[in-house]
C-alpha cells in the first residue's frame, strides 16, 4: 500500500492491497494496465525502490528491497532495470550516447578494458536492432524518438537485468516504430530470459506482447488473468468499458457497440467500497463495501459483486492465476 499527503492531512491511497509475484525461473511479460491515476506508475516506482510503501513489502529474491545495503543493493540496482515513457526527457543533451552507455559499465565494473566495454556496447545496440556505427558518438538530438527509446532498452540490456520495468515505453513513439520496440522487448524476454513488467494504458499493445494482465483502477485491482481471456471476455464493468473504448483500426468494429455508458465522476469521491462505484453503470447497494477478488476460471479473477457466484481468492494468491 502506498499513501501520500503533502499539504493536507488527508492522504491519497495510490495503491491498495496489490500483490504480485514473478518467478525467476519462468521469465514472462506481465502487463499492468489502467488509466491515468490508476497507480500504475506508483507501482513501477515501488518495484524499482524509488519510493517505499506505506505498508507491505517488496521482496526481490526473498529480501525486502528497502533493507538492501551495500553489495546487495548494487546487485538489485543492476538486475532490475527500467525504461521510461518519454525518450526525449531521459537523455542529458550534453553527452553523447557513448557516455550514457559507458557510465553503467564503469559503475558496475562490467568490463575490464575499453575494448571490452566497446564490444559490450555494440552487442547491446545490435540486440535492439540498431547499427552501432550509426549510434555511437551521436548526441541525443541527432536521434529519433524510436532510436532513443531503443537505446534505453539497450542500456538496460547491457546490465543483464533479471527484471525490466517498462513504464509506457511506446506511448510517445510513432505508431510505425512501436512495433519495432515491442518486438525488441519480446525478444529480450525470449532470448535473454528477462522478465518484463509492461506498464501501459494501451490494451492493444498489451494484448500483443503480454502473457498476463492486471487491470488497475484508482489503485485497486479490478480484473486480472490471462491476457487473451481478459481482453476477449472481460467480466468487470471497468475492463469492459476500457476495452469497448479502444479505437480499433477496424471498420467493422464500431466504437461503443456494447453500450456501456460510464458516468463521469464529477469529483474524486473517496469511497470505502469499490473504487469504480461512482462511475459503474451496474452500481448496487453492496458495492459500498469493497468487493473481494472472485476467481472466474483457472486464469481469470475480477473484483466485482456481479461475479459473486464464484469463489473468492485472497489477493496475495492472485499471482497463481497469472500464466507465465
Interacting residues with another protein (CB under 8 A):
35-36, 123, 126-129, 144-147, 174-180, 182-184, 186-187, 191-192, 201-205, 207-209, 228, 231-232, 241-242, 245-251, 254-256, 262, 264
Tell me the backbone φ, ψ of residue 187, rounded to 5 degrees. -70, -25
Min CB(181)–another protein separation in Å:
8
Min CB(100)–another protein separation in Å:
20
Of residues 276 and 294, the one with the C-beta less far from another protein: 276
Min CB(178)–another protein separation in Å:
7
Contact of 187 with 128, CB cutoff 8 Å: no
- For 256: left if phi > 0, alpha if psi spans -120 to 50, otherwise beta; the answer is left
* Residue given cell 488473468 in the structure block: 225
- Listing DSSP states for 140-187 in one string gives GGGS-HHHHHHHHHHHHHHT--SEEEEESTTTTS-HHHHHHHHHHHHH
Query: Exposed (0-12), middle (13-18) or buried (19+): which is 125, by Cβ within 10 Å?
Result: buried
Min CB(243)–another protein separation in Å:
9
Of residues 55 and 191, the one with the C-beta less far from another protein: 191
Of residues 8 and 36, the one with the C-beta less far from another protein: 36
Of residues 137 and 256, the one with the C-beta less far from another protein: 256
Min CB(251)–another protein separation in Å:
5
Min CB(97)–another protein separation in Å:
16
Of residues 241 and 318, the one with the C-beta less far from another protein: 241
For residue 166, which of 89, 82, 90, 87 has the smallest C-alpha distance? 82
Tell me the backbone φ, ψ of residue 19, rounded to 5 degrees. -125, 135
Of residues 118 and 208, the one with the C-beta less far from another protein: 208
Amino acid at each position: 500500500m502506498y499513501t501520500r499527503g503533502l499539504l493536507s492531512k488527508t492522504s491519497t491511497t495510490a495503491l491498495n492491497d496489490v500483490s504480485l509475484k514473478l518467478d525467476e525461473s519462468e521469465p514472462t511479460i506481465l502487463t499492468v494496465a489502467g488509466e491515468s491515476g490508476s497507480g500504475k506508475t506508483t507501482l513501477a516506482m515501488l518495484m524499482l525502490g524509488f519510493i517505499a510503501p506505506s505498508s507491505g513489502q517488496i521482496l526481490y529474491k526473498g529480501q525486502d528491497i528497502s533493507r538492501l545495503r551495500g553489495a546487495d543493493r548494487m546487485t538489485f540496482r543492476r538486475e532490475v532495470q527500467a525504461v521510461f515513457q518519454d525518450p526525449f526527457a531521459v537523455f542529458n543533451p550534453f553527452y553523447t550516447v557513448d557516455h550514457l552507455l559507458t557510465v553503467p559499465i564503469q559503475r558496475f565494473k562490467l568490463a575490464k578494458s575499453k575494448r571490452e566495454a566497446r564490444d559490450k556496447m555494440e552487442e547491446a545496440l545490435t540486440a535492439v536492432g540498431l547499427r552501432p556505427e550509426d549510434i555511437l558518438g551521436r548526441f541525443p538530438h541527432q536521434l529519433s524518438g524510436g532510436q532513443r527509446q531503443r537505446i534505453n532498452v539497450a542500456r538496460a540490456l547491457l546490465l543483464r537485468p533479471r527484471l525490466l520495468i517498462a513504464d509506457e515505453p511506446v506511448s510517445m513513439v510513432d505508431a510505425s516504430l512501436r512495433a519495432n520496440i515491442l518486438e525488441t522487448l519480446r525478444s529480450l524476454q525470449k532470448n535473454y530470459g528477462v522478465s518484463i513488467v509492461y506498464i501501459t494504458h494501451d490494451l492493444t499493445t498489451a494484448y500483443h506482447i503480454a502473457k498476463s494482465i492486471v487491470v488497475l483502477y484508482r489503485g485497486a485491482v479490478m480484473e486480472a488473468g490471462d491476457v487473451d481471456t481478459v481482453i476477449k471476455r472481460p467480466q468487470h464493468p471497468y475492463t469492459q468499458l476500457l476495452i469497448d473504448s479502444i479505437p480499433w483500426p477496424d471498420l467493422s468494429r464500431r466504437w461503443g457497440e456494447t453500450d456501456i455508458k460510464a458516468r463521469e465522476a464529477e469529483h474524486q469521491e473517496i469511497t470505502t467500497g469499490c473504487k469504480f462505484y461512482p462511475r459503474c453503470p451496474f452500481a448496487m447497494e453492496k458495492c459500498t463495501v469493497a468487493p473481494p477478488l472472485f476467481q472466474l476460471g483457472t486464469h481469470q479473477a475480477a473484483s466485482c459483486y456481479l461475479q459473486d457466484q464464484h469463489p473468492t481468492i485472497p489477493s496475495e494468491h492472485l499471482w497463481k492465476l497469472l500464466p507465465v
